[in-house]
Every structure is written in C-alpha cells, then in structure tokens.
Amino acid sequence: MQSTRSGPNKRAGTFGGFLGASYDPVWGEFRGEMPQGDPYLEVTPEGRFSFSERHVPGLTLDILNRRRSLLGQLEDQVRWMDSASSVQSYQRTRDRAFSVAASNKLRRGLDIQDEPAKVRERYGMNLFGQSCLSARRLIENDVKLVTVLWDEWERSDESWDTHHDHHPRMRKMLLPGFDRAYSALILDLEQRGMLDDTLVLCLSEHGRTPKFYNTSKGPGRGHWSEVYSQLFAGAGIRPGTLIGASDEIAAYPTERPLSPKDILATAYHLLGIDHEQEIADRQGRLWPLVHGGHVVPELIG
C-alpha cells in the first residue's frame, strides 16, 4: 500500500524495470483523515484503500463493462498496430486495470471497514498498521503477492531514514508502530491457519551507520550497506532462527554474511520457482532471474 502524497514514482525499484511497464505493480491508495497531520501517526476508522486514482461517482460494474466493450470495438479497428511492443504493453496494462476494477475479491480485500474495531486497533490505527491488515485481507482473497511500504509522507521525519533526531523518532513512532503491526500480522496469519502458506519478508534497502553524527535537529545516522538485519516468517521458514553476526558496533559482518541475492534465491525456492532460470526482456535477451544468489538452508525448516 502506498500513500497518495508520497506516490510510487519516487521509488524506481518497485517497478517492472527491463520487463516493461506492463509488469509494474498495481498501487493501492489510502484516503482518510489524519488527526495528527500524518498518516503514519494516526488515521481515523473511516479511512479506506482504493486501487483507482480517482473516484468516479455513479460508475457501476455494468457501466464499466459497457465501456470496456466499446473500447474493444474501437481497438479492433487498429489491429495493424498489435505487433508494436508498446501497444502490447498498453493492452496488458489495460486488461489488468479492468480486472482489478471489476474484481469483487479485491474490493472485499481492500474493505478494511469489515474488520472488527478490536482487530483494526490491534494492527494500529495508522497507515502502516492498516496497510498490513489490508495485506492480510488481500491474501485471503487470492492475491498472490502484496507489498506494504513504509515511505515518507510530506517530509522525512516519519520515515526510517533517520539522518536526524534518531532516538526520539525510533522510540515514539517507528519502533512502536512497526512492532505492533508486524506482530499483529504474524499472529493473525497463524491464528487463521494462513502462515504456513504465506511467506512474510520484512526487508530494507540498507542499514544505518554504526556511529552517530550531530545535526541541528539532533544526532542522526547515515546510510550503511555493510551490515543490517531482516526478518522472515511462514512458508517453510524455520522459526526462532538467528543467522549471522556482526562486530560489536554493527559495522561489518563477522559470521555467515548473506547478500540480497541469497534472500531472493531463498524466497523463490520457497515459492517453488527455479531461481537459476533465465527470463527474456522486451528485446528477447535472456537474463538470470537471480545472478549469483544461493538458497540459505539454515532459513528453511
């Protein structure tokens, strides 16, 4: 789920890349009141998610189907363009948009108002908590892959990019909000009998510098890619397993270092996908799905 103010266009890594725009994800948007002015701090129970960028009053499923039929008739007149890769990409994206708009299962999955108030509060009445709850509902309604992002809203103060004021932000908002939502999601999946079939990956793009530096807004930490932690659960992951270690200031790994490619290879393996296979780009060139990654046997129960 993604907040509308932040928007997905800031983060290139979440798109289809060399596979083309037709492989871009479908973004969910949240609309609701923010009593504290920031959705990661608090949202009201009336808030809701939607896959559409704009709400069109009076647009029923019957009207949508008629429009789709008309669009199909118009496109039949330009079949000579069908061989163009850009047109094929457009058609794939169009078909996906219609399937999303017309899907009762997706609408049910997004309708977090159906959840009891106690369940919603257990996840946390903020954007990240309600997004994790919506992710569980989407999985229940046969969505195979769901990504929940914790991105900044209008400023970076509420994000995990703690270049300043590190300790108060971690204590007051970041850690409590994450702990509440993540634990609620894992327990909810387990209680519903879904955890054994659902792979939950809590990933970050990098860690933070081992040492603090002073800023006018309080001590902060910079970007650091040498060592950081990630969390895994469900779908064959061995519970309670700790892999690897760092030096005493978390600067460099001292035991069993893993790469992001190893995590990708392991995730594909658990999903029943051959991580050593090759895939073709839009020009027909073959690329390895995961180049150089290895399955991590210690992670698998």
CA angle 116, 119, 121 (to 5 degrees): 110
Supply the DSSP symbol for 25. P
- Distance from C-alpha of 8 to C-alpha of 3, rounded to nearest angstrom: 8
Mean pLDDT value across the chain = 83
CA angle 226, 231, 232 (to 5 degrees): 130
Share of the chain above pLDDT 90, in %: 57
For residue range 64-95, what is the model confidence (pLDDT) as tens digits? 556 556 556 555 655 545 555 555 655 666 66
- Distance from C-alpha of 258 to C-alpha of 114, rounded to nearest angstrom: 41
| pLDDT surpassing 70 at residue 301 | yes
Q: What is the mean pLDDT of residues 82-110?
A: 64
**Exposure of 149 by Cβ count < 10 A (0-12 exposed, 13-18 middle, 19+ buried)?**
middle
- Distance from C-alpha of 182 to C-alpha of 203, rounded to nearest angstrom: 12
φ and ψ of 139, to 5 deg: -65, -40
Q: Position 147: which residue type?
A: T
Structural domain boundaries in the chain: 1-159
- Distance from C-alpha of 32 to C-alpha of 9, rounded to nearest angstrom: 21
Q: How far is CA 235 from CA 72, 79, 253, 299, in A?
A: 41, 44, 27, 11
Laid out side by side, the sheet with 2-3 consists of 2-3, 29-31, 48-50
What is the structure's pLDDT at 165?
92
The SS3 of residue 180 is helix
Dihedral sign for Cα atoms in the order 130, 42, 10, 150: negative
What is the structure's pLDDT at 52?
55
pLDDT band at residue 286 under the 50/70/90 scheme: very high
What is the structure's pLDDT at 22?
73
45 against 105, higher pLDDT: 45
What is the structure's pLDDT at 151?
81
What is the structure's pLDDT at 38?
86
For residue range 6-65, what is the model confidence (pLDDT) as tens digits? 454 556 677 788 887 777 787 778 888 999 888 888 999 998 888 754 444 454 556 555
First-last CA distance in the chain: 30
Question: Taking a C-beta distance cutoff of 8 angstroms, is the pair 118, 127 a contact?
Answer: no
| pLDDT surpassing 70 at residue 188 | yes
- Distance from C-alpha of 22 to C-alpha of 7, rounded to nearest angstrom: 18
Share of the chain above pLDDT 70, in %: 77
For residue range 132-173, what is the model confidence (pLDDT) as tens digits? 999 999 999 999 999 998 887 776 566 899 999 999 999 988
Partnered with residue 288 across adjacent β-strands are 278
